[in-house]
Amino acid sequence: MTRKLFGTDGVRGMANTYPMTAEMAMKIGEAAGRYFRRDGSSGHRAVIGKDTRLSGYMLENALTAGFTSTGMNVLLLGPVPTPAVGMLTPSMRADVGVMISASHNPAEDNGIKLFGPDGFKLDDAAETEIEQMALGGVEPVQAENIGRAKRIDDGRFRYLERVKSTFPTELQLDGLKIVIDCANGAAYRAAPEVLWELGAEVIPIGVEPNGLNINLGCGSTKPEAAAAKIREVGADVGICLDGDADRVILIDETGAIADGDQIMALFANRWAEEGRLKGRTLAATVMSNLGLERFLADRSIMLHRTAVGDRYVVEAMRAHGLNLGGEQSGHIVMTDYATTGDGLVAGLQFLAEMVRTGKPASVLARSFEKVPQLLKNVRYSADAAPLEAAAVKQAIADAEARLNGFGRLLIRKSGTEPLIRVMAEAEDEGLMTEVVDQIVGAVEASA
């Protein structure tokens, strides 16, 4: 069944435009409330967090109205990272957690992510049922059974303590100068506070949210600002989070950028040496670089590839009993510590390696040589189906024939935006560029 609301990471779109309207947010709240309160008993709870987008106020109120109309009580966390919602949902004995965020998207977008009572994101089946209920309508409870809403003032501090507990107690960050870029997002207070409390000299940027500047020229999708700051102040390392702080990009002392693949390589190798990498396997998506796969194979570590989306990485990890996975984009999932990607926890694990080994970030963040990879995005109109066009199919077939034995090709629709993503890997960069441009041209002509 084709889904109309939910994509690879919840519901997402431009605020005040379908489906990210107050009306639809209320319907999603009603549906999720009814889904998790089927027995009709009292005492059910929903936890709601958000990032710093202006539209978060509107959606928070609408979701609250929806949940309380079905008899659910609502606990409002205010601005907290996405992993805080995953952590606090089971901690506060809630039935459902909600994060209002469009992650790395610009400020005009927003989204709704749902977590189950175990703190993990809902699977496709649950989301599909909630979507059907939202679109079909939900019967409200009688007036005397309407739920209550309460603001929780210490949600950030609860998360802070959990994050600090993941850092080895015998280590501290004294002597390290760290640039932390919070993307003017959900971790703008939590991340600098954690690093300072662990002893680091902290240089924060992207910590002045105004509702409209989240991810704007900063954060994990724009790490150049942090790289420049590192060179300016002579910092040892930079940590770049995205708007909801569930992903991280690292920058070494020279200003060079390391993506999620390099971070996962470091962690997988270290954990395998210590005997704590479950299944001696790393879960990563089809987007991860071929260089990572070769690095792991040389160390007898398996790579389990999944569909794109940190939710699918987590599902594979849970199905196969794994404890480490992630995405090239910077979602690093360590289920020993969190139920979803946590950029701050991943950053702390990297810092622990710096302290433990005495090696600079430039050494630790370069575990392998990447195979040249090129990714281009093509925007298409809502009524177009470019991947179904004969010319596009032929261009893809021709590209695959040219790359056969010499590289890898991946074409997919984005689950969060109207984009076709065209990616190729090949040792021959000229060939790689040619096949990507060939497919991009065909898609553009059909979009």
What amino acid positions are annotated as catalytic residues?
A: 103
Label residue 103 left, alpha or beta by phi (over 0 means left) and psi (-120 to 50 means alpha).
left
The answer to whether the CB of 181 falls within 8 A of the CB of 219 is yes
- The Cα-based distances of 371 to 309, 421, 435, 440 in angstroms read 22, 18, 16, 21
Q: Which sign does the torsion angle of CA 130, 131, 135, 136 carry? A: negative
- Torsions phi, psi of 378, nearest 5? -125, 120
User: For 132-166, b where at least 16 C-beta lie within 10 A, e where not — what string?
Assistant: ebbeeebebbeeeeebebeebeebbebbbebbbeb
- The Cα-based distances of 416 to 61, 71, 443, 444 in angstroms read 23, 31, 18, 19
Maximum C-alpha span of the chain: 69
Question: How many Cα atoms occupy the beta-carbon half-sphere of 77 within 13 Å?
Answer: 32
Cα separation of 435 and 259, whole Å?
A: 24
